[in-house]
């Protein structure tokens, strides 16, 4: 579903990505793990079409990103590490704009947005301009915008960073639901625990190179559902654990 082949990207003399290749199959959640500066964001930004590679190709659901960018982006969702919005629009207006540009059915998109917003704990805040949002709320909005159209390929760059426990659990649930419906998810994080809990496979990136690929069996199955601390948080926050 997502095929990244021999991707190289340099910033002057610095090689942010060096011959990086990976595949994500339909229904699979692949974790991209690496230290700060390992090249995770560069890989995801390049795969999202935000910057051209110096070499290599990105194929999204069979469509080459750089020869048919619009067609490829129809099949793509991207939750950025530092999302940017039209700050004066409300979250609701921003999502309506995204839905129209993506050509979604208005009523269905509205219902899906409402469900996601509710699950992530943004209910009651969607008529406020985005510039009033906290960092975590902005990340949640970016996540909703990325999954609104149930893209065949979803790229998440530190997507859950800044989420509260309830929001993070809901987002993980949404990611699992999307994956079980056949969507390929590439999820970057420098938090190993998130990758352990969420992903089927982990790709380790170091100095722009893919240095190791681990199957889930390599790290075992962590307990499903919320941890004891998360349970406490959800009780305090008034959500059902």
Partner 1 sequence: MPALVTSRTPAFQGLERALIRRRLMQLDPRLRVELGLLALLTAAVLFWQVRVPLDGLARSRGPFAAIGVVAVAWLILAALGSVLAGGYHARRLRAGPHGPEWLSLPLESSRLERHLAWESCSRLPWLAVPALGVLAAAIGLVPAWWLALLAAAFVGLLRVAGGLGCAVGYRVVLAATEPRARLHPIERVLAVAAPRVARRRVSGARWRSAPPWVALLAKDLLVTFRVAAMRRTAAVPIAFGVASLLAWQLPGEPAFRHFVAFALSLLAAAGLAEWLIVLAGSDPFAALRVLPVGVMTVWGARAIWAVVGALGLVATQAIAARGLSAHALQLFLAWSGAATVAIGVLGINYGVTLFPRVDVASRMLGLSLVLAMVASIMLPLSGWIILLTAVLHSARRLPRWAWLEET
- CA dist 160 to 46, 169, 195, 237, Å? 20, 9, 11, 18
Q: Is 57 in the site for partner 1 (CB under 8 A)?
A: no
| CB 50 to partner 1: min, Å | 6
- Exactly one of 102, 150, 190, 197 binds partner 1 (CB under 8 A); which one? 102
Instruction: Work out whether 206 is an interface residue with partner 1 (CB under 8 A).
Output: no
Q: How many residues bind partner 1 (CB under 8 A)?
A: 42
Binding mask 130-159 for partner 1 (x = CB under 8 A): --x---------------------------
Q: Helix or strand or coil: residue 120?
A: coil
| CB of residue 172 to partner 1, shortest distance in Å | 22
How far apart, in whole angstroms, are the C-alpha atoms of residue 236 and residue 77? Answer: 33
23 φ, ψ to 5°? -130, 145
Nearer to partner 1, 145 or 179 (CB): 145
- Judged by DSSP in three states, 86 sits in coil
Question: What is the rounded distance in angstroms from the CA atom of residue 104 to the CA atom of residue 100?
Answer: 6
Q: Does 101 bind partner 1 (CB under 8 A)?
A: yes
Q: Are 212 and 38 in contact (CB under 8 A)?
A: no
Min separation Cβ 215 and partner 1, Å: 30
DSSP of 144-195: HHHHTT--SEEEEESTTTT--HHHHHHHHHHHHHHHHTT-EEEEEES-HHHH
* List 26, 27, 129, 241, residue binding partner 1 (CB under 8 A): 129
For position 224 contacting partner 1 by CB under 8 A, the verdict is no
Residues making contact with partner 1 (CB under 8 A)? 45, 48-52, 69-71, 73-74, 76, 78, 80, 83-86, 88-90, 92-93, 95-107, 109-110, 127-129, 132
């Amino acid at each position: 579903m997502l095929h990244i082949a021999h991707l190289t990207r340099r910033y002057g003399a610095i090689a942010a990505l060096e011959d990086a290749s990976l595949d994500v199959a339909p229904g699979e959640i692949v974790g991209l793990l690496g230290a700060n500066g390992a090249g995770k964001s560069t890989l995801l930004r390049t795969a999202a079409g935000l910057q051209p590679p110096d070499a290599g190709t990105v194929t999204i659901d069979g469509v080459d990103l750089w020869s048919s960018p619009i067609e490829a982006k129809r099949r793509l969702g991207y939750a950025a590490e530092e999302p940017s919005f039209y700050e004066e629009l409300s979250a609701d207006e921003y999502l309506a704009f995204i839905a129209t540009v993506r050509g979604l059915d208005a009523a269905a998109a509205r219902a899906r947005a409402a469900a996601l917003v509710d699950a992530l704990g943004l209910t009651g805040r969607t008529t406020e301009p985005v510039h009033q949002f906290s960092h975590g709320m902005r990340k949640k909005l970016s996540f909703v915008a990325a999954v609104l159209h149930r893209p065949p390929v979803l790229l998440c760059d530190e997507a859950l960073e800044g989420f509260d426990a309830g929001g993070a659990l809901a987002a993980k649930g949404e990611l699992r639901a999307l994956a079980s419906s056949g969507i390929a998810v590439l999820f970057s994080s420098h938090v190993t625990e998130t990758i352990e809990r969420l992903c089927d496979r982990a790709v380790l990136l170091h100095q722009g190179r893919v240095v190791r690929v681990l199957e889930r069996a390599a790290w075992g199955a962590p307990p499903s559902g919320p941890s004891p601390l998360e349970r406490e948080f959800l009780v305090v926050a008034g959500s059902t654990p």
